């Protein structure tokens, strides 16, 4: 176990990041580090009055922020990116402390925030619409994109700050104000991010007050964002159960939603696959972040001709992977977030065993670890078929492996789950790769060749289909979700021809 005093270390990092001690010392909600289970902070939830006031202030801020030229709005995001660059080490370490990510993944999360700031800065000069040919003489038709208003951001524990940054950087350059409800499990990284953002605001100088708020709390705070008429878009990241509750509530008031929900991601390993590459790619995708990524590899279909060779090598990786304190160099698998995650993992493994599953790994690792910390050896479970827990997302490091003989059957099983986030195929056969990427192939929002399903970069649109919610965030043209489109028709002639040949002559 770590020799560092984690509560003290947390306080040191928060001070360096500019968070007032009162904000994490006196509240009723305890914040625990999964590394030891110790309490590392006490925060206060926002009450209904504070929540309503923050939304009203954000709406007022939006009314003036929308008038600021987009490249100038980009300047605020650039300044925030500078703060992140200057404090990457501290914020990355705080992510490791609060979520249990290994050091390089904590830093990688902050790098992702920096990357999206760079992307959004460039985007601030590229918020373009189309010009469209019209059927009427001396007319012009075009599309204009305008800000939406207040964007409510609800985020999950496993990417406690990067997901906010994906939304925030784009929403802000698009001219919106933002109100953030982070996971109740990760309020400290949210406070630190907000403090860095406050520094960027101070350097920017004249951004309207209330432009970016953070509201700590649980579902009730989430509900307030979801139900508030002034929140034009609710961008919610989390479980499918959360999305099922949030989606209809926002639809009820004709608000917009952007849902980034659970995944049950799979890979197919074909006879021609480079097995060295596959083993490395699959091991990271399945065991990295202790199986707590939405894009974690959870199902594996291996061609019978390479099944024994691949699974044998994967088993070795599962039995030898370094599990432990995420701050210690060499650790690849840190702790699960809490006991509930551990219990869910054990329940899934027990159910898989009753269905004929043969597990390698999966047990709790207790040697030298605190009683309130939940470390596990990742589990590789060979399943006779895709049944029971294989069809669900268990947010823990379990990889279910199955054989296949016909690629068409493997793709059918690949797609036969409710979720549709990420997917990959390992093959050196062009036909197999292209089939997997075609309309007959993977039904996911992300489909890769010769890399695993996890570890996306920000330049592409991120999100998935079916019960993953259909939202797209981050790169490509995802910015459009944060804006509304107006179609404009301009008549620069002296007559008034009507579309479709309609006549309406008032004489």
Return the closest-CA partner of residue 112 out of 13, 193, 34.
193
Span near ligand NAD by CB under 6 A; candidates 44-52, 180-188, 278-286, 381-389: 180-188
- Give the span between the Cα atoms of 196 and 101, in whole angstroms: 21
Report the SS3 class of residue 297. Answer: strand
Interatomic CA distance for residues 318 and 310, integer angstroms: 12
Taking the least distance from each CB to ligand NAD, the nearer of 127 and 165 is: 165
The answer to whether 238 contacts ligand NAD (rule: CB under 6 A) is: yes
Distance CA(119)–CA(490), nearest Å, equals 33
Q: Are 287 and 321 in contact (CB under 8 A)?
A: yes
Considering only the stretches 13-21, 75-83, 242-250, 302-310, report the one whose residues sit in contact with ligand NAD under the rule CB under 6 A.
242-250
User: End-to-end distance of the chain based on CA atoms, in angstroms?
Assistant: 89
Identify which range of 122-130, 135-143, 235-243, 374-382 contacts ligand NAD by CB under 6 A. 235-243
The nearer residue to ligand NAD, 83 or 467, going by C-beta atoms, is 467
Contact present, 73 and 124 (Cβ < 8 Å): yes
Whichever of 70 and 242 has its CB closer to ligand NAD, that residue is 242
At 55, list the tokens: 């939304």
Residue 142 forms beta bridges with which residues? 131, 488
Say if CB 197 and CB 110 are below 8 A apart: no
Rounded least distance, CB 471 to ligand NAD, Å: 8
For 158, the token pair is 């496993």
Exposure string of 246-272, with b = 16+ CB inside 10 Å and e = fewer, is bbeebeeeebbbbbbbbbbbbbbbbee
Site for ligand NAD in 275-334 (CB under 6 A): 294
Q: Under the criterion CB under 6 A, does residue 420 sit at the interface with ligand NAD?
A: no
Residue 266 makes contact with ligand NAD by CB under 6 A:
no
Q: Is 69 in the site for ligand NAD (CB under 6 A)?
A: no
Instruction: Out of 95, 154, 190, 273, name the contact with ligand NAD by CB under 6 A.
Output: 154
Q: Which of 106, 187, 262, 441 binds ligand NAD (CB under 6 A)?
A: 262
By the rule CB under 6 A, 239 interacts with ligand NAD: yes
Q: Which of 109, 393, 432, 443 binds ligand NAD (CB under 6 A)?
A: 393
Nearer to ligand NAD, 29 or 66 (CB): 29
Which segments of 265-417 does DSSP mark as H helices, in order?
275-287, 304-320, 339-354, 407-415
- CB nearer ligand NAD, residue 178 or residue 294: 294
Considering the complex, what minimum distance in angstroms separates the CB of residue 468 from ligand NAD? 6
Q: Which of 139, 140, 199, 219 binds ligand NAD (CB under 6 A)?
A: 219
The distance of Cα 202 from the centroid of its chain, to the nearest Å, equals 28
- Among 10, 33, 96, 183, which residue sits at the site for ligand NAD (rule: CB under 6 A)? 183
In the set 242, 268, 302, 390, which binds ligand NAD (CB under 6 A)? 242
Considering only residues 123, 127, 171, 226, which one is a binding residue for ligand NAD as defined by CB under 6 A? 226
Size of the site for ligand NAD (CB under 6 A): 30
Pick the closer one to ligand NAD by CB: 161 or 435.
161
What's the DSSP call for residue 454? -
Q: Does 157 bind ligand NAD (CB under 6 A)?
A: yes
Contacts of 229 (CB under 8 A, 6+ apart): 253, 255
Task: Give min distance, CB of 355 to ligand NAD, in A.
Answer: 22
Residue 260 or 432: which CB sits closer to ligand NAD?
A: 260
| Min CB(243)–ligand NAD separation in Å | 8
C-alpha to C-alpha distance for 16 and 14, rounded to whole angstroms: 5
Rounded least distance, CB 260 to ligand NAD, Å:
3
Q: Which of 214, 246, 257, 300 binds ligand NAD (CB under 6 A)?
A: 246
Does 184 participate in binding ligand NAD (rule CB under 6 A)? yes
* Minimum gap (Å) between residue 20 Cβ and ligand NAD: 23
Query: Binder to ligand NAD among 124, 442, 468, 478 (CB under 6 A)?
Result: 468
- CA torsion sign for 436, 438, 439, 443 is positive
Which residue from 200, 249, 207, 199 is spatially nearest to 228, judged by alpha carbons? 249
> Cα separation of 93 and 97, whole Å?
6
Q: Establish if 190 lies at the interface with ligand NAD (CB under 6 A).
A: no
Decide whether 62 or 159 has the Cβ nearer to ligand NAD. 159
Nearer to ligand NAD, 242 or 407 (CB): 242
Q: What's the CA gap between 393 and 341, in Å, rounded? A: 12
* Options 29-37, 126-134, 158-166, 274-282: segment touching ligand NAD (CB under 6 A): 158-166
- Output 238-242 pairs: Cβ under 8 A, ≥24 positions apart: 238/154, 238/155, 238/156, 238/183, 239/156, 239/393, 239/395, 240/393, 240/418, 240/419, 240/467, 240/468, 240/469, 242/154
Phi-psi region of 123 (alpha: psi -120 to 50; beta: other; left: phi over 0): alpha
Residue positions annotated with a catalytic role: 260, 294
> Binding to ligand NAD by residue 158, rule CB under 6 A?
yes
3-state secondary structure of 375: strand
Which helix (H) or strand (E) is 177 found in, with range? strand 177-181
Q: Considering the rule CB under 6 A, would residue 368 count as an interface residue with ligand NAD?
A: no
Binding site for ligand NAD (CB under 6 A): 154-159, 163, 181, 183-184, 218-219, 222-223, 226, 237-239, 242, 245-246, 260-263, 294, 393, 395, 421, 468
């Amino acid at each position: 176990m770590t020799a560092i005093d984690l509560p003290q270390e947390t306080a040191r990092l928060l001070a360096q990041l500019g968070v007032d001690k009162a904000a994490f010392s006196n509240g009723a909600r305890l914040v625990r580090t999964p590394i030891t289970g110790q309490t590392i902070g006490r925060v206060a939830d926002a009450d209904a009055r504070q929540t309503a006031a923050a939304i009203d202030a954000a709406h007022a801020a939006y009314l003036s922020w929308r008038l600021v030229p987009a490249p100038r709005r980009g300047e605020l995001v650039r300044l925030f990116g500078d703060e992140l660059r200057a404090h990457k080490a501290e914020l990355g370490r705080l992510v490791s402390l609060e979520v249990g990510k290994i050091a390089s993944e904590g830093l990688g999360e902050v790098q992702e925030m920096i990357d999206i700031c760079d992307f959004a800065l460039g985007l601030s000069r590229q918020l373009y619409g189309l010009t469209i040919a019209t059927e009427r003489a001396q007319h012009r038709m075009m599309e204009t994109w305008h800000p939406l208003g207040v964007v409510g951001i609800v985020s999950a524990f496993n990417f406690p700050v990067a997901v906010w940054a994906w939304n925030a950087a784009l929403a802000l350059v698009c001219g919106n104000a933002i109100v953030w409800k982070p996971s109740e499990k990760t309020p400290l990284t949210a406070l630190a991010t907000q403090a860095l953002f406050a520094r960027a605001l101070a350097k920017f100088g004249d951004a309207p007050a209330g432009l970016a708020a953070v509201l700590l709390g649980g579902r009730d705070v989430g509900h307030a964002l979801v139900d508030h008429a002034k929140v034009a878009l609710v961008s919610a990241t989390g479980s499918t159960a959360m999305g099922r509750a949030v989606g209809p509530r926002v639809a009820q008031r004709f608000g917009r939603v952007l849902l980034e929900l659970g995944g049950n991601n799979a890979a197919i390993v074909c006879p021609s696959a480079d097995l060295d590459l596959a083993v490395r790619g699959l091991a990271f995708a399945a065991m990295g972040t202790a199986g707590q990524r939405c894009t974690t590899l959870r199902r594996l279909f291996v061609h019978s001709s390479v099944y024994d060779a691949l699974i044998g090598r994967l088993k070795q990786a599962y039995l030898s992977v370094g599990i432990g304190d995420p701050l210690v160099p060499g650790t690849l698998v840190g702790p699960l977030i809490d006991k509930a995650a551990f219990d869910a993992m054990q329940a899934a493994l027990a159910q898989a065993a009753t269905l004929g599953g043969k597990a390698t790994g999966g047990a709790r690792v207790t040697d030298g670890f605190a009683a309130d910390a939940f470390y596990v050896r990742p589990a590789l479970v060979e399943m006779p078929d895709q049944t029971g827990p294989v069809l669900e997302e268990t947010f823990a490091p379990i990889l279910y492996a199955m054989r296949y003989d016909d690629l068409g059957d493997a793709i059918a099983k690949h797609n036969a789950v409710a979720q549709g986030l990420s997917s990959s195929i390992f093959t050196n056969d062009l036909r197999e790769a292209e089939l997997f990427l075609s309309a007959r192939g993977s039904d996911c929002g992300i489909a890769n060749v010769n890399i695993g399903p996890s570890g996306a970069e920000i330049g592409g649109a991120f999100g998935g289909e079916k019960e993953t919610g259909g939202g797209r965030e981050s790169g490509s043209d995802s910015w459009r979700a944060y804006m509304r489109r107006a179609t404009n028709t301009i008549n620069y002639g002296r007559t008034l021809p009507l579309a479709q040949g309609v006549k309406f002559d008032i004489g």
